[in-house]
Amino acid sequence: MQDILKKVTEAFGVSGDEEEIRAVITSEIKKYVDEINVDAMGNLIAVKKGKNKKIMFAAHMDEIGIIATFIDEKGFVRFSNIGGVSPFNSLAQRVRFKNGTIGSLNVEEKLEDKKALNIGKMYIDIGCKNKEETEKLVRIGDTANFVGDFFVQGDFAVSKAMDNRSGCAVLIELIKTLPKTDNEIYFVFTTQEEVGLRGAKTAAFGIMPDCAIAIDVTLAGDTPQSNNRDVKLGAGPAIKVKDNAYIAHPQIRRTLEDLASSNGIPYTLELLDMGGSDPGAIQTTGVGVPCGGISIPCRYVHTPAEMVSLEDLKNCVKLAGLFAKNYK
Amino acid sequence: MLIKELTDLNGVSGNEKEVRDFIKDKINNFCDTIKIDSIGNIIAYKKGINSKFKVMLSAHMDEVGFIVSGHTDKGFLKFKPVGGIDDRILPGKRVLVGKKRLCGVIGSKPIHQQEKDEREKISKVKNLYIDIGAESKDEAEKLAPLGEFISFDSEFIEFGKNSIKAKALDDRVGCAVLIEALKNSFEFDLYACFTVQEEVGLRGAQVAAYNVMPDVALVIEGTTCADVPNVEPYEYSTIQGNGAALTIMDRTCICDKELVQFLHDVAVKNNIKVQYKQTTSGGNDSGQIQRTGTGVKTASISVPCRYIHSPVSVMSRSDYESVERLTIAALNQMSKNKDFLKSLSKLTSGKEQLTK
């Protein structure tokens, strides 16, 4: 699991630019599924055929990042955010463009009030002397992700893209270890979640599933002075009750809770007060889809040092497998 | 001139009939069927010579404006904006109220009656009113009942060497391009969709795209242009005179990369001036169209418009021509190069992915 987590977190895949991560996942899973499709939004849709219920597991494969919007005469690059990028967390960080070019994020020197910091006042320095030099490495419209290399210490793993490559790793592991079932299981690696749950919408339309489970990270509440949340690293999967985009279907939530309890899987309940996830788009597809979520507790979401517990990931795989097998 | 005729019409979001009737009449001879759907979009269909693929062109007919929301005892109109309008530009503007185009002016408390802090603040819509010359509440209610739509009153004027000023350039320029495009024939099925209610949330395009389920969509728009004093070059968004603007990403859509590159290549090859929109703010119908059904490859081509959403939008005639030429050249190229359309429209098949 650790190897696959390293592989998927290190792949490039800013929203709208998911080719590389899609290729990595495709090569990882193609031996284990009956069919793989890619739709017009770039979603990777893998199927294990069955004759009973159509269950859609969705993990988004895109990550937040930045997009180059302007290059000035001196070779500095202006940029805009893709997804929820905090200017404070970004300051003095490094970004890596798809072609490997590294840049450092800085702010105009005349900014006196740090509270007034915003992305419009920031720029990327890629160490070029002028516009021509820069343009050889970075073009307008190029995207970059944050630099935050993968490492493991004890049970905890850290990377720039645990949101949501840890979910992708869970889904890949689920594909490889899926218990025997007559349900038809769709494993969907969605695109453009970070800019508004966009990929999930067309993926769900193409599948029209009987139910859907999102596997995504959620904010942990176990750090100093953090909001009072039940969700903790190492305390097992967080079963979704609600976030800002949807309320979990009570039957799905109950099924997940029952399965966890009866199989000795620790869990907490997730009531997320900020941010949404793919079911927000999936649940209103067609005549409606009952949705739920198996969430991965994660510290420091949307920073280059997102942290999850490896033990939690294993338990997420277990719980998802039980759901796939037992959902009727 | 087509753009003059189109911008002289009034079609505030939700009240696009005048524009719709005009366009219907203009395109009648150039398409196979014209459908008006339940929300009010025009879906003009032109059968292709070898109709394997569906290409959708989209431009919205509606414009920003106002709606009558109340009447004062003395016969002034209270009003609400329809779509995004900058409050700062309102006092002192002429408007046209309702189908009969009653003259009105937007007024506010005179400056010498204002307290110091009032003078320094921007007049909010709620403190403004429209004077239509009515002398009583009764009279005002009769002339301009609740819910009546109100447009800016602004003449189409050509000035300078190359400039045009009018209201509603966003997006009658797109409507004009679609009308011109329909005069051509293509290999694929063409659906020219003139949509409604874009300015209040991309509403018409959502159902139009669902109806068409195209393989590829091009959205033709008027977009922001901030190449004016006191703005840093990196905030310009687009530059007037630099040609057709291609969107890479905005608030509603990350355009299909392959399609954007294709449009850029077509422009370069045909010596059509082209630029990338350099900010990621704003949005248009592409956001809804892209996420219809199992997804649609979508891009947008825009005419830079300074002072957009105001009665004095300004564009360059040459930019308009670039957008029109690029749209038609791109359609012709797709018509010729079927493999490109095929590569865009194809759902990569299961087998292919597995053997890769």
Q: Which CATH number goes with the domain that contains B334? A: 3.40.630.10
Q: Please indicate whether, in this complex, the C-beta atoms of B254 and A192 are within 8 angstroms of each other.
A: yes
| Mean pLDDT for the stretch of residues A52-65 | 98
Which stretch of A12-16, A67-71, B280-284, B340-344 has the lowest confidence by average pLDDT?
B340-344
Instruction: For A186-225, write each residue's pLDDT tens digit.
Output: 999 999 999 999 999 999 999 999 999 999 999 999 999 9
Q: Chain A contact for B113, CB < 8 A? A: no
Q: Please indicate whether, in this complex, the C-beta atoms of A69 and B254 are within 8 angstroms of each other.
A: no
**Contacts across the A-B interface (CB distance below 8 Å):** 82
Give chain B's mean pLDDT: 94
Residues B48 and B104 in one domain: no
| Mean pLDDT for the stretch of residues B212-219 | 96
CB contacts of B256 in chain A (<8 Å) are 40
B236 assigned to some structural domain: yes
Q: Domain A2-63+161-326, CATH 3.40.630.10 — does that match?
A: yes
| Mean pLDDT for the stretch of residues B50-73 | 95
Strands (E), B61-128: 65-71, 77-82, 94-97, 102-107
Res. A316: pLDDT tops 60:
yes
Quick check: helix, strand or coil at residue A124? Answer: strand
Residues 135..164 of A with a Cβ closer than 8 Å to B: which? 140-141
The Cα–Cα gap between A5 and B110 comes to 67
Nearest residue, CB atoms, A206 vs list B278, B294, B354 = B294
Name which of B291, B296, B297, B342 to mutate to probe chain A: the one with the most chain A Cβ atoms within 10 A of its Cβ: B291
Q: Domain A65-146, CATH 2.40.30.40 — does that match?
A: yes
Residues 285..314 of B with a Cβ closer than 8 Å to A: which? 290-297
Quick check: helix, strand or coil at residue B177? Answer: helix
Which stretch of A226-230, A252-256, B305-309 has the lowest confidence by average pLDDT?
A226-230
Q: Chain A contact for B254, CB < 8 A? A: yes
Q: Chain B contact for A83, CB < 8 A? A: no
Q: Dihedral sign, CA of A295, A296, A298, A304?
A: negative
Residues 6+ apart with CB under 8 A from A258: none
Residue ranges per domain, chain A? 2-63+161-326, 65-146
Residues 6+ apart with CB under 8 A from B354: A30, A35, A36
Predicted local distance difference test score (pLDDT) of residue B45: 98
Q: Please indicate whether, in this complex, the C-beta atoms of B294 and A67 are within 8 angstroms of each other.
A: no
B284 assigned to some structural domain: yes
- Neighbour-count burial of B113, counting CB atoms closer than 10 A to its CB (0-12 exposed, 13-18 middle, 19+ buried): exposed
Q: CB–CB of B326/B267 below 8 Å? A: yes
Instruction: For A95-109, write each residue's pLDDT tens digit.
Output: 999 999 999 999 998
Residues B29 and B75 in one domain: no
Nearest residue, CB atoms, A80 vs list B280, B347, B348 = B280
Catalytic position from the list B198, B199, B221, B324: B198
Question: The tokens of B268 are what?
Answer: 């370069």
Chain B: give the shortest CA distance to residue A181, in Å.
21
Q: Which residue of chain A comes nearest to B354, CA vs CA? A: A30
Q: Which residue of chain A comes nearest to B216, CA vs CA? A: A40
Instruction: For A109-121, write each residue's pLDDT tens digit.
Output: 888 888 889 999 9
- Tokens 């990550």 label which residue? A63
B116 assigned to some structural domain: no
In what side-by-side order are the strands of the sheet with B157-159?
B157-159, B163-166, B313-316
Predicted local distance difference test score (pLDDT) of residue B349: 47
Residues B107 and B251 in one domain: no
Res. A296: pLDDT tops 90:
yes
Instruction: For B275-285, write each residue's pLDDT tens digit.
Output: 999 999 999 99
Provide the β-strand partners of residue B59: B194
Q: Please indicate whether, in this complex, the C-beta atoms of B249 and A70 are within 8 angstroms of each other.
A: no
B317 assigned to some structural domain: yes
Residues B50 and B74 in one domain: no
The Cα–Cα gap between A190 and A277 comes to 11
Res. B112: pLDDT tops 60:
yes
Q: Please indicate whether, in this complex, the C-beta atoms of B248 and A141 are within 8 angstroms of each other.
A: yes
Predicted local distance difference test score (pLDDT) of residue A295: 98
Residues 6+ apart with CB under 8 A from A202: A39, A40, A41, A43, B291, B292, B293, B294, B295
pLDDT band for B344, please (50, 70, 90 cuts): confident
Q: What angle do CA A265, A268, A269 make, to 5 degrees?
A: 130
| Mean pLDDT for the stretch of residues B52-57 | 94
Chain B: give the shortest CA distance to residue A160, in Å.
22
B334 assigned to some structural domain: yes
Predicted local distance difference test score (pLDDT) of residue B351: 47
Instruction: For B311-321, write each residue's pLDDT tens digit.
Output: 999 999 999 99
Q: Which residue of chain B comes nearest to A81, CA vs CA? A: B280
| Mean pLDDT for the stretch of residues A253-274 | 96
Number of domain units in chain B: 2
Q: Chain B contact for A60, CB < 8 A? A: no
Residues B16 and B143 in one domain: no
Residue type, position A319, single letter = L
Q: Which residue of chain B comes nearest to A19, CA vs CA? A: B257
Quick check: helix, strand or coil at residue A21? Answer: helix
CATH assignment of the domain containing B102:
2.40.30.40
Closest CA to B284 of B82, B62, B87, B80: B62
Instruction: For A137-157, write each residue's pLDDT tens digit.
Output: 999 999 999 999 999 999 999
Q: Chain B contact for A98, CB < 8 A? A: no
Name which of B216, B239, B253, B294 to mutate to probe chain A: the one with the most chain A Cβ atoms within 10 A of its Cβ: B294
Domain that includes residue B211, residue range: 2-63+167-345
Nearest residue, CB atoms, A15 vs list B254, B291, B292 = B254
B276 assigned to some structural domain: yes
Res. B355: pLDDT tops 60:
no
Residues B52 and B201 in one domain: yes
CB contacts of B347 in chain A (<8 Å) are 37-40
Within 10 Å of residue A103's Cβ, how many Cβ atoms? 26
Res. B64: pLDDT tops 60:
yes
Q: Which residue of chain B comes nearest to A18, CA vs CA? A: B257
Question: The tokens of B133 are what?
Answer: 């010359």
B162 assigned to some structural domain: no
Res. A322: pLDDT tops 70:
yes
Which 8-state DSSP code applies to residue B278?
A: -
Q: Chain A contact for B346, CB < 8 A? A: no
Q: Please indicate whether, in this complex, the C-beta atoms of B280 and A69 are within 8 angstroms of each other.
A: yes
Global pTM reads 0.93
pLDDT band for B116, please (50, 70, 90 cuts): confident
Q: Is A193 a catalytic residue?
A: yes
Helices (H) and strands (E) in chain A, counts: 9, 17
Predicted local distance difference test score (pLDDT) of residue A131: 97
Predicted local distance difference test score (pLDDT) of residue B341: 83
Predicted local distance difference test score (pLDDT) of residue B356: 45
Residues B49 and B101 in one domain: no
Q: Chain A contact for B332, CB < 8 A? A: no
Residue type, position B335, single letter = S
Quick check: helix, strand or coil at residue A300? Answer: coil
Closest CA to B221 of B262, B273, B270, B277: B277
Q: Please indicate whether, in this complex, the C-beta atoms of A37 and B297 are within 8 angstroms of each other.
A: no
Residues B318 and B181 in one domain: yes
ipTM: 0.91
Half-sphere exposure of B258 (CA within 13 A, CB side): 15
Q: Report percent pLDDT > 70 for chain A.
A: 100
Predicted local distance difference test score (pLDDT) of residue B346: 59
- Tokens 């360059």 label which residue? B316
Within 10 Å of residue A27's Cβ, how many Cβ atoms? 11
Instruction: For B154-201, write each residue's pLDDT tens digit.
Output: 999 999 999 999 999 999 999 999 999 999 999 999 999 999 999 999
B351 assigned to some structural domain: no
What DSSP string describes B183-216? Answer: TS--SSEEEEEEES--TTTSHHHHHHHHHH--SE
